[in-house]
Structure 1
Amino acid sequence: MLLLTALTVAPPARADEAPTPMEDNRRITLGYIEIAYELGGLLDPNLQPGGSSNVRPNWFVFAPHASQTGGQGMLGAALARRMIDAARGQPSLSVLQALDRFGIVGTVRLTVENLSLELVLRGLPIDAATSIASLTTAMNWEALADPRTFSTTASRFASLYWSAPGVLPLDKAESVVITLERTLHEGNLAIFTDIGGSARLYLDWRRGLTGEVTPERVLTEFVLQDAIAQEARVAYAYALAHANDTPRPYLIDTLFPGMHWKSLLVAAFALYEEARLAPTPAARDALIAMGNNYVAWREQHDMAQPVFTPAVAHADEVSRSALLEALTPLLRTYFGTLEWNYADYAYSQPDPDGSLLTSPPTEYNWATFWDRWTGILYAFEQAYGDPSALWAMPEPLVDPTAG
């Protein structure tokens, strides 16, 4: 609501232009919600559209909430862009004036103000500092209450600013903002196009079948481009044998070296069908969790990772990895009524460096696959304890800057 209020003055309507990142985000969130209910209805025949279920959520029930989080980050980037555009016409004389201009109020204002002032002390001009600090409005800014996290975050933001391309201060700040917006948008698109698209193909294929749908039919008859049937069968058989292992198998590259991610998706769909037919809720839930790990591994390993650490950097961006490292302590997703944030995860783990001078959340980097993967598994386990929470689906965001 804060960001929507700050962005109420939209530019003139666009004509014949590609969708904005926020418009793509809305389409993707809605698409995931549709898939979540269709696939969720197979696992729980009592689930109705718009309703809730106590059956363990499949990966596609998590996806709308993750997409919404990306959209909120894009809203934060949109706010920062508007602050930069306004400053080009009339620079702010103080941090307070910059915050007042966009109506940033409430408890988040104090955090943005303090972070902005800290960045000013580190040499950033007022509007550059405030626009970069405003990126935190859609995140877990409460994590900055730890002075160690606050200091490290400010230092990292300042380093990003000074490393940014451009000569003028606002151009440097805009490079930081552009980097975040593109990273979120590209990741959102890549995951939905491939994994969401594969799910849509699967559900359409399933709907066209006659006779009973079984895991064997999925492994034998469902064709997904680039998937290898024998690989899918190996992954499926392993999951059946190890679904009740503790910890649940998660080192997928070690288990199946070289396996194509599309093969893992076919195996996951077969596991969801196996779960549907399971004799007990416990057996059903274990199989769903294995399917989730398969989908999530390839989502993060093959779709997200190239976006977060691209082989060739854009000339007008800062380091995506460095930006995600700065933002890692502030990451938060609401899975319906259940909150997950990276800071809680980090504090729950052994301190990576064992030093009281550094806060654990600052010792991880969302751009590093293993830091991200273990945090996601932690989120899964939290959600498995309250499955109905995830069915409080998000209201897809509207791009307030689009015509």
Structure 2
Amino acid sequence: MVEGSSRPSFRFLLPSTLLLALLSMGLPARAEAGPTPLEDNRRITQGYIQIAYELGGLLDPHLQPGGSSNVRPNWFVFAPHASQTGGQGMLGAALARRMIDAARGQPSLSVAHALDRLGVSGDVRLTLQNLSLELVVRGLPIDAATSLASLTRAMNMEALADPRTFTATASRFASLYWSAPAMHPLDKTESVVLTLERTLHEGNLAIFTDIGGSALLYLDWRRGAVGAVTPERVLTEFSLPDAVPAESQQAYDYALAHVQDSPRPYQFATLFPGMHWKSLLVAAFALYEEARRAPTPAERDALIALGNNYVAWREQHDMAQPVFTPAVPHPDEVSRSKLLEALTPMLKTDFGTLEWTYTDYAYSQPDRDGSLLTSPPTEYSWAVFWDRWTGILYAFDQAYGAPSALWTMPEPLVDPTAEPANGT
């Protein structure tokens, strides 16, 4: 990819009303001719980039389309990178499904043959080969083992250099395979792959629909406002479905009183019991407006960070958690929570030029079980809200030390398995 090619100008991006219309089209279960998960992901990542630049331009008047800023990034600057990470997982699932389809016609002769069919090369190949062979030892057929191992190809493969993490990961993948609701090995494998694809796709759609859609509504409202936009006007004039103005005011007032607290407020279920979390989004937009008029960069950045926590809580507590741990499991899936647990040690996100890994977070914390037999990253699960939430806050703090890094935006992914439009 040519450096800088992922920084689109506003004139190439969709207007908010069209983005929302396209978004609503992606909400029902996908029809046969509808968009693939990766096509949805590409549209969502592009939408986040648009929001990031427009909202970022409010916080930093010097920010140009496609440019960079040293002002503390708002939540929507993180969002394209997180969406891209989900897209990479969906891409891995799409390629694994392609391999499964090929194996139904002609099984692979060896793990090396299977990796060749997947097009795996370079440094990652040896790790995937070792993980595949370990799964074969645990009773999985070659194509099943290699397909499941390949789901980690875009992740932090260095985490598997710790033999404790490697062993735990192989054991968890094998358990998922044997628990799959099917009889044929390739059907069992496909169940695991589909579980990952659906989990990532549903989470991607849910978060962008709710939070991305709220931001688009806010920016549309802001463009139409007559006169100066102030936090007070946001709290009294801007509304979101289910948000309660008195609750938004409460959250905003609390933020102003505690913006310099250390640690930054983050236990919002305790702080605001019974509050509807759409109210937090309105308060976050008011905090971003307050940040615009802050007298010092330090005060501005503190307000942005607390606004980010409000948005991220809504994202993870109310939108992601029901997707990761559904009340009613899908009968053709494996456990979503156990799959996310298996992947947790290898999680990583490239926030532009800054890399965050879950292993860095896990090793920064006290050892949970105090045992040398288990590696710290295997003691956490991305499906557990507090494991995920505190890991995200750690990522925020890392990024706040290098704000311009996040403005190297990702190049939205293309689905290599999608049918060309009009047969071309």
Is the TM-score greater than 0.5? Answer: yes
Shift of 1:373: 0.2
Cα offsets for 1:57-102 (capped at 9, x unmatched):
0000000000000000011101111111111000012111111122
User: Is it true that 1:27 corresponds to 2:40 in the alignment?
Assistant: no
The 5 Å alignment of 1:238-317 reads 238-317=254-333
The match for 1:38 is: 54
Looking at structure 1, the residues matched to 321 and 239 of structure 2 have their Cα atoms a distance apart, in angstroms, of 26
2:383 aligns to what SS in structure 1?
A: coil
The match for 1:56 is: 72
State the percentage of identical aligned residues: 84
Pair 16,128 (structure 1): closer, same or farther in 2 beyond 3 Å: closer
Where structure 1 has 5 or more consecutive residues not aligned to the other structure, the ranges are 2-14
Residue type at the aligned position of 2:196: L
Cα offsets for 1:91-128 (capped at 9, x unmatched):
01211111112221111000110000000000001110
Tell me if structure 2 keeps the 8 A contact 1:32–1:63: yes
Looking at structure 2, the residues matched to 98 and 269 of structure 1 have their Cα atoms a distance apart, in angstroms, of 50
The match for 1:169 is: 185
Cα offsets for 1:163-186 (capped at 9, x unmatched):
001000000000000000000000
The match for 1:6 is: none
Aligned match of 2:388 in 372, 381, 385?
Answer: 372
Looking at structure 1, the residues matched to 81 and 268 of structure 2 have their Cα atoms a distance apart, in angstroms, of 24
Shift of 1:16: 7.6
Shift of 1:250: 0.5
TM-score (norm 1): 0.96
Where structure 2 has 5 or more consecutive residues not aligned to the other structure, the ranges are 2-30, 420-424
Looking at structure 2, the residues matched to 132 and 151 of structure 1 have their Cα atoms a distance apart, in angstroms, of 15
Looking at structure 1, the residues matched to 130 and 32 of structure 2 have their Cα atoms a distance apart, in angstroms, of 42
Residue type at the aligned position of 1:40: G
Aligned match of 1:399 in 409, 415, 421?
Answer: 415
Aligned match of 1:339 in 337, 355, 374?
Answer: 355
1:85 aligns to what SS in structure 2?
A: helix
Cα offsets for 1:183-236 (capped at 9, x unmatched):
000000000001000000000000001111100000000011110000000000
User: Is it true that 1:225 corresponds to 2:262 in the alignment?
Assistant: no
TM-score (norm 2): 0.91
Tell me if structure 2 keeps the 8 A contact 1:75–1:138: no
Aligned residues: 391
1:137 aligns to what SS in structure 2?
A: coil
Residue type at the aligned position of 1:195: I
User: Is it true that 1:356 corresponds to 2:372 in the alignment?
Assistant: yes
The match for 2:222 is: 206
Pair 105,16 (structure 1): closer, same or farther in 2 beyond 3 Å: closer
Looking at structure 1, the residues matched to 168 and 58 of structure 2 have their Cα atoms a distance apart, in angstroms, of 47
- How large is the RMSD of aligned CA atoms in angstroms? 1.1
Aligned match of 2:212 in 188, 196, 203?
Answer: 196
Looking at structure 2, the residues matched to 210 and 221 of structure 1 have their Cα atoms a distance apart, in angstroms, of 12
